[in-house]
C-alpha cells in the first residue's frame, strides 16, 4: 500500500480475482481513505468469499495431492481431524490455520522420511502451503463491499457469486478464459476510461 501511494500518482482502479477480491476491496478502501484521493474503480473477477471451510478444503486437497506417498489411513485421518478442527474452531480461524499448517508439516515430514527427501524439500513443501493458507486467512478477513462506491463484479459462465451485486456482468467463458476474454477487456477498458481525469 505504502509503495503504491508513495508514487504520488493516483490509483485509478483496483482489480481482484477469486479469493483476492476480498483483499482488493480493502485496498480500495485504504486508497479512498487517503487525503485527497478519488475512490478508485473496483473490478472483481469471479469474486469469492473465503469462509473457514476454504482453509480446510485447501488442506484436504493439498494432502490428497500427496496421497500416493502417505501411510495407510493418514489421508482419512487428516480429513476427519480437519473436519473436527473446523467444527470446534470456526470462530478462531488463525488458530485453525496454525493447526492445519502444523498437521501438514507432520504429514510432509513423514513423506520426506519415507522417501529420504531431506529437510530442505520438506520445508519447501510446508512453506508453500503455509504461505497460501496465510493468504486465504487474510482474504477471509476482507469482504466484498466498499466503504465508498460500488464494485463491479465480472463473472465467468458458471460462477456463482456469494453476494447479489448492484453492478455485475456474466460472460460466456469458463473461469480459465475470463481474464483473457476480449469482451471482458472491453468492459474493463470502458470502466478504466471513465476513471481518467
- Residue 196 has a pLDDT of 55
| Residues in a beta bridge with 42 | 14
- Residue 193 has a pLDDT of 86
Q: Are 95 and 51 in contact (CB under 8 A)?
A: no
- Residue 77 has a pLDDT of 97
Q: Mean pLDDT by 10-residue block, N- to C-terminus, for the chain (197 residues)?
A: 74 94 94 84 95 93 96 96 93 94 97 93 93 94 92 96 92 96 95 72
Name every residue whose Cβ is closer than 8 Å to that of residue 47 and which is 6 or more positions away in sequence. 16, 18, 21, 22, 144, 151, 153, 155, 161, 162, 163
Q: Are 52 and 93 in contact (CB under 8 A)?
A: yes
| Phi and psi torsions of 70, nearest 5° | -80, 155
- Residue 120 has a pLDDT of 93
Measure the CA angle with vertex 16, ends 13 and 18; round to 5°: 165
Amino acid at each position: 500500500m505504502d509503495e503504491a501511494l508513495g508514487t504520488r500518482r493516483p490509483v485509478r482502479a483496483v482489480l481482484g480475482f477469486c479469493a483476492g477480491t476480498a483483499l482488493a476491496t480493502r485496498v480500495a478502501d485504504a486508497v479512498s481513505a487517503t487525503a485527497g484521493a478519488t475512490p478508485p474503480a473496483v473490478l472483481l473477477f469471479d469474486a469469492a468469499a473465503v469462509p473457514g471451510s476454504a482453509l480446510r478444503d485447501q488442506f484436504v486437497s493439498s494432502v490428497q495431492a500427496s496421497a500416493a506417498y502417505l501411510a495407510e489411513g493418514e489421508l482419512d485421518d487428516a480429513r476427519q481431524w480437519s473436519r473436527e478442527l473446523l467444527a470446534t474452531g470456526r470462530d478462531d480461524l488463525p488458530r485453525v490455520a496454525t493447526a492445519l499448517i502444523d498437521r501438514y508439516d507432520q504429514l510432509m515430514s513423514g513423506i520426506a522420511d519415507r522417501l529420504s527427501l531431506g529437510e530442505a524439500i520438506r520445508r519447501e513443501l510446508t512453506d508453500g502451503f503455509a504461505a497460501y493458507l496465510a493468504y486465504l486467512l487474510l482474504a477471509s478477513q476482507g469482504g466484498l463491499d466498499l466503504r465508498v462506491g460500488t464494485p463491479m463484479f465480472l463473472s465467468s459462465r458458471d460462477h456463482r457469486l456469494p453476494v447479489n451485486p448492484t453492478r455485475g456482468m456474466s460472460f460466456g467463458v469458463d473461469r480459465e478464459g475470463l481474464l483473457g476474454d476480449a469482451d471482458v477487456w472491453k468492459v474493463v477498458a470502458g470502466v478504466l476510461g471513465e476513471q481518467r481525469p
